[in-house]
Each structure stands twice: as C-alpha cells, then as structure tokens.
A and B are shown apart, each in its own frame.
Chain A
Amino acid sequence: EVQLVQSGAEVKKPGESLKISCKGSGYSFTSYWIGWVRQMPGKGLEWMGIIYPGDSDTRYSPSFQGQVTISADKSISTAYLQWSSLKASDTAMYYCARLGRGLDYWGQGTLVTVSS
C-alpha cells in the first residue's frame, strides 16, 4: 500500500527555523517526483515545488524560490521542506504528494503555526 506519512504539527515563533518531513512507503521512492503544496487557512492549494528523490533534481514555483528549501534522503525514503526564518505568513497546512498521473497519493498534512 502506498503511503506518505508527514511529521506532526509545529508551533514556532517568527524567525525560527523548521524542517518538516514526508516519508514514503509501499512504492519505489526514487522513481516518482514528490511535490509540496501549501494551503493557507481557508484558502486554495498552491504548488511550492517538486523533487525527484532519485537524483534530487528540484524545482521551485517562483513564489517560493528562495523562501523554502526542498530536499530528500533516498536512503530513508523521506522528503523534506524547510525554512531558515519563519514568518507569520508561513502559517498554513503543508501537504506532500506523489506525482504519478496527477498527485495520486497525499500525505495527511503538517500544520505549521507561526506566532509570537
């Protein structure tokens, strides 16, 4: 069974750093792109970027270039999304998803709350 399991909810202060994770199982993790999607409270879905764990090829949406870093460790079938300095506007639900034919499998989401 294909599964993407994300790390738990986080509460952080502005300026702090954060790295959240997405662990894949039940399929060849190195053979599919993994995407990260942001959903701000009450809003729609936004593509942040994608990574191919096989060779760590990474692409960012223009709105998120330079704002976050996407990485992967194929030895443990895990993708990451990280911030070096969080802002209140980073408060959102973050989803990882496998890019098969469309985003065919999704993680359960990681809620990130940034508040002073």
Chain B
Amino acid sequence: EIVMTQSPATLSVSPGERATLSCRASQSVSSNLAWYQQKPGQAPRLLIYGASTRATGIPARFSGSGSGTEFTLTISSLQSEDFAVYYCQQYNNWPYSFGQGTKLEIK
C-alpha cells in the first residue's frame, strides 16, 4: 500500500505571497497524482490531476509539478479564498491513497 506524506502539516503565509506544499509517495506513482482543496463544511474540489494539469475552472495561480515520488503544489499569489486544507492523492496503484493534508492558514 502506497503511503502519501504531505509537508508541512500547517503552513502560514500572508496574502499575496507564494505557498509551496509538498507531497511524497512511498513508492513511485508516475504522474498519477491529484491535488484537492477543501474548505470548512464543503466537499473537496479537484485542483490538479496528472501531477501538473489544472482541472476545469482552476485559476492559473495554482500549479503542480513532480513525478515519481516527489510532488509540489504551488500557489503563486495567495488570495483570501485560498486558505483551506490541501490533499494530495495517488491513483497509480490500488488502494488509492490520500496524504494527511496541509492546512494553509493566514499569517
């Protein structure tokens, strides 16, 4: 079973600054990696699939990179609506698995 590890657990960033979130897989997942955003009281929303492709309607300030075991989600200039919890998830091998999440909070 592939274990996904996200870091840091909490990231404090000021609006307008850049945020960089990391995700590591315990074994290669190729580019079969997605990122999700979840706000309180809402279902998660797909941001990135295939490690680097933005989902429909996702702003260009969100970008994903990486392959194999190391992945990064970058938010280039944080807006107030971006403060949320972010999850990575691999869909290369069943059982698919999520990371434990990174909470992005306002500094």
Contacts and interface: CB of A to CB of B under 8 A. Distances in A.
Interface of A: 35, 37, 44-47, 50, 59-62, 95, 97, 99, 101-104, 106-109
Contact of B46 (A44, A50, A95, A104): A104
A44 B87 contact: yes
B49 A101 contact: yes
9 contacts: A44-B99, A44-B100, A45-B36, A46-B98, A59-B94, A97-B44, A102-B34, A103-B89, A109-B43
Interface of B: 1, 34, 36, 38, 43-46, 48-50, 53, 55, 85, 87, 89, 91, 94-101
A95 B43 contact: yes
Interface of A is mostly: strand
Given A44-B87, A101-B49, A102-B34, A61 B43 contact: no
A59 B49 CA distance: 22
Contacts of A61: 95-96
A60 B94 CA distance: 9
Given A99-B91, A102-B89, A44 B43 contact: no
Contacts of B46: 102-104
A95 B89 CA distance: 15
A101 B87 CA distance: 16
A87 to B, nearest CB: 21
Contacts of B44: 37, 45, 95, 97, 103, 106
Contacts of B49: 101-102, 104
A108 B97 CA distance: 21
Contact of B1 (A62, A99, A107): A62
B106 to A, nearest CB: 20
Nearest to A108: B43
A69 B55 CA distance: 30
